[in-house]
Structure 1
Amino acid sequence: MLFYVIAAVVVLIDQGSKRLISLYMELGESFPIHRLLQFTYIENDGMARGLFPGYARLFALVAIIFVAGILYYRKKGELRGTLMDIGTGFLVGGAIGNAIDRIVLGTVTDFLAFGSGRGVMNIADLAINIGVLFMIIAMIQNYVSQKVKPEHAEES
């Protein structure tokens, strides 16, 4: 259940924030929020940092295949545990959030600029990064627990 709740909340926050930005800001407009963060409204028809421009709908298809893969491996039981649920929930929510933009608009709304020269992103992009982080932690935890179990078995 945690997986679905996180994915749904990410999609709702992502889509809501993008709509607010497109309603209240002009394309290309920028204003500081904090010394490390500014809102800069851009439309991206490619992928990260504008790579491969013009392929937004192709990347939407990739996102759909990615989400299907996550759902498949979850159903098989290969992605289990609280950390993995959190990680995959963030990943799927982020992928769906950006896929909706790519399918409906043909571009992705980006507006979060952290520091200088680091590109502009959105909530879905942040969620994907958070998801990857949780999955790495889950894999490390699984690896460590697998290494500890055989050592305890030998001591018995």
Structure 2
Amino acid sequence: MTGRKGIKMFYAIAILVALIDQISKYLIRSYLHIGETASLWGIELTHYENSGMARSLFQGYARLFGIAAVIFVAAVLYYRRTGQLKGLILNCSLGFLVGGAVGNAIDRLLFGQVTDFLVSRSGKGILNFADHAIEAGVLLLILHGVIQFTRKHFIKRKFS
């Protein structure tokens, strides 16, 4: 799946991630007070507002991180337009990364903080849907890199 199908996949994932992220955050802000915990289908939810970044580092810089996310999204869109970013796995990866960046940037720029609510099973953090999408995007980006490396260094040599 390359070309137009890859482009459609990129936009479908990015839009879906941003929408699910924003809807879930809206519901959390509407039904749970900050610090309140609830369980939904066995998933622990705790409403937390984070004005920093991962693991609450750099508190108070949410808007700066929001601007960085906007720059990241603009760069991805620019390079996609030039045709330099191709392939199904790369398109999916970038869709997750852009959707997650947009979801968190909206919170950071509008509210000065990000709504987190998904308690990790290890108990080491509270994330949101956008954060998990970014994790998925990074994993797919690593997979894309491994595949490209393998093709370049092993597959061509075998048939040369």
Q: Verify same fold: TM over 0.5.
A: yes
What are structure 1's unaligned runs of at least 5 residues? Answer: none
Shift of 1:30: 1.0
Structure 1 length-normalised TM: 0.92
1:22 aligns with 2:38: no
Structure 2 length-normalised TM: 0.90
Shift of 1:33: 4.2
Q: What is the alpha-carbon distance in structure 2 between the residues aligned to residue 77 and residue 48 of structure 1?
A: 32
Q: Which amino acid aligns with 1:122?
A: N
1:13 aligns with 2:20: yes
What are structure 2's unaligned runs of at least 5 residues? Answer: 1-7
Number of the residue aligned with 1:118? 124
Number of the residue aligned with 2:67? 61
Deviations 1:65-123 (A, max 9, x none): 11112122222333210000000000000000000001111110000001243210000
Aligned to 2:45, what secondary structure does the other structure show?
Answer: strand
After the TM superposition, which of the residue ranges 74-83 and 119-128 deviates more from structure 2? 74-83
1:85 aligns with 2:91: yes
Q: What is the alpha-carbon distance in structure 2 between the residues aligned to residue 30 and residue 122 of structure 1?
A: 14
Q: 2:45 aligns with which of 39, 42, 59?
A: 39
Q: What is the alpha-carbon distance in structure 2 between the residues aligned to residue 144 and residue 6 of structure 1?
A: 26
1:75 aligns with 2:81: yes
Number of the residue aligned with 2:115? 109
Shift of 1:151: 2.8
Task: Give percent identity, aligned residues only.
Answer: 49
Number of the residue aligned with 1:134? 140
Q: Which amino acid aligns with 2:46?
A: T
Deviations 1:124-148 (A, max 9, x none): 0000000001111111111111121
Aligned to 1:20, what secondary structure does the other structure show?
Answer: helix
Aligned length: 152
